[in-house]
Amino acid sequence: MTDFVTYDQQDGIATLSMDDGKANAYGPSMISALSEALERAKSDAKVVLIKGRPGIFCAGFDLKIMTKGEDARLDMVSRGAELLLDLYMHPQPIVMACTGHALAAGAVLLMSADYRIGLKGDFKLGLNETTIGMTMPAFGIEMARDRLGSENLTQAVLNARLYSPEEAVTVHYLDEAVDENQFEKALGTRLDAMMSIASPAFAATKIGIRSVVEKKIRESLG
């Protein structure tokens, strides 16, 4: 697709591989590339797989843009939030392969998926906004409330705790964490399972489960 996201479709599975050669920042170019690929998958596949680059899934919003000026920051955050909602409500099953660190908006990206498999290793996952002086936006809080559960909000969001892949399973950033030598096998098993439930019924049920949260987030975006 672009230098930021490559697109490959095989046997009904669209694989979107993020790789900007650095930290996989969730910046304007990555957001545009993911949006384009996600739209293509609607008519080209049954299941969507989103992967990071070796050692890192996504490091969050592009800090260079965050400090570029208010207009640039607001535009990036607004577009990024819209894509997260599109992923969260996407009619096809979405699986994410967390190949390393997932921080800030990268952790929210994980929360938008239907199933998340993490690679075990010396990686950190979580919402570190308050430790760098940033207020967590409403869309991140509401996504966390839905996917992590209210019992984990104080530690995960307010106290900005970062988790290992194994710990991330216990607070629901991930659904499972596996060793490198089992990673592709586990991914294949889950993709097969998701292929079996990909249907209009899956899409309608997702709307039923998530529409209340979607409405609340869209109202916060104005």
Q: Parallel, antiparallel, or unpaired: how do β-strands 176-178 and 55-58 relate?
A: unpaired
pLDDT tens per residue across span 36-52: 999 999 999 999 999 99
At 1 the pLDDT is 46
What percent of the chain clears pLDDT 90, i.e. is strictly above it?
92
DSSP code for 61 = B
pLDDT tens per residue across span 49-73: 999 999 999 999 998 898 888 899 8
Query: In angstroms, rounded to a whole number, what is the distance separating the alpha carbons of residues 134 and 140?
Result: 12
Mean pLDDT, the chain, whole residue set: 96
Tell me the pTM: 0.96
Q: Where are the domains of the chain?
A: 5-221
Provide the CATH number for the domain formed by 5-221 in this structure. Answer: 3.90.226.10
Q: Which of 98, 119, 117 is nearest to 175 (CA)?
A: 117
Q: Count how many Cα atoms sit within 13 Å of the Cα of residue 113 in the half-sphere of its side chain.
A: 27
pLDDT tens per residue across span 195-206: 999 999 999 999
